[in-house]
């Protein structure tokens, strides 16, 4: 059996042994950790999307006051 086959076997066994069903609203550490992981993953995805938007269009990141400040700096520099 190859190394990939062994890994696949143990992954199937792990899923078979440990993927039992919890009741809805279960607050055990396994369910809480999974919910926490999902929440952090979603938060990271939203943050990454916002970063991509800002990198594509940096002007959207500035408030009007910040935009005015940088416009004044540009005028002074000229």
Give the number of domains in the chain. Answer: 1
Q: What is the pTM of this model?
A: 0.49
Give the Cα separation of 35 and 24 in Å (integer): 12
Nearest Cα residue to 22 out of 38, 35, 36: 35
Nearest Cα residue to 18 out of 30, 2, 26: 30
pLDDT tens sequence across 24-58: 888 888 889 989 999 999 999 999 998 888 888 87
What was the pLDDT predicted at 5?
A: 84
Residue-averaged pLDDT of the chain: 81
What was the pLDDT predicted at 30?
A: 84
Domain range enclosing 15: 3-77
């Amino acid at each position: 059996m190859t190394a990939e086959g062994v890994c696949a076997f143990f992954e199937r066994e792990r899923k078979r042994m440990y993927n039992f069903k919890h009741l809805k609203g279960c607050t055990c550490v396994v369910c809480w950790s999974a919910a926490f992981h999902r929440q952090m993953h979603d938060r990271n995805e939203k943050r990454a999307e916002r970063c991509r938007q800002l990198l594509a269009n940096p002007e959207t990141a500035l408030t009007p006051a910040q935009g005015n400040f940088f416009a004044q700096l540009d005028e002074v520099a000229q």
